[in-house]
Structure 1
Amino acid sequence: MKRQKRDKLSRAHSKGYQAGIAGRSKENCPFQAFDARSHWLGGWREATGDRQLGINPR
């Protein structure tokens, strides 16, 4: 069970990172659960920081 939960949160972070790199707003977060939402926003923040630095993961 813990492995599955960790995978969900990791996926939420990844999706948030992808949204941030694409330049989407943080209000577009699709998650309602606190844990998943906070991981998504963490990925989004990381991506927006990377974009400002000029890092492009493509």
Structure 2
Amino acid sequence: MRRQKRDRLGRAFSNGYQAGLSGRNKDNCPYQNANAKSEWLGGWREAMTDRSTGLFK
């Protein structure tokens, strides 16, 4: 059970990271669940940081 939960949250983080890299707005988060939304936003923030430091263009 725990492994499935981590995988779902990991996928939310990854989706948020991809959304951040593509320049999507954080208000476009598709998750309603608080944990998944938090992970998605964490990925989005990390991607935005990476973009601002010049890792990706």
TM-score between both structures, scaled by the size of structure 2: 0.97
Aligned residues: 56
Gaps of 5+ in 1: none
Tell me the percent identity.
62
Aligned to 1:37: 37
Gaps of 5+ in 2: none
Aligned to 1:21: 21
SS of corresponding position for 1:16: helix
TM-score between both structures, scaled by the size of structure 1: 0.95
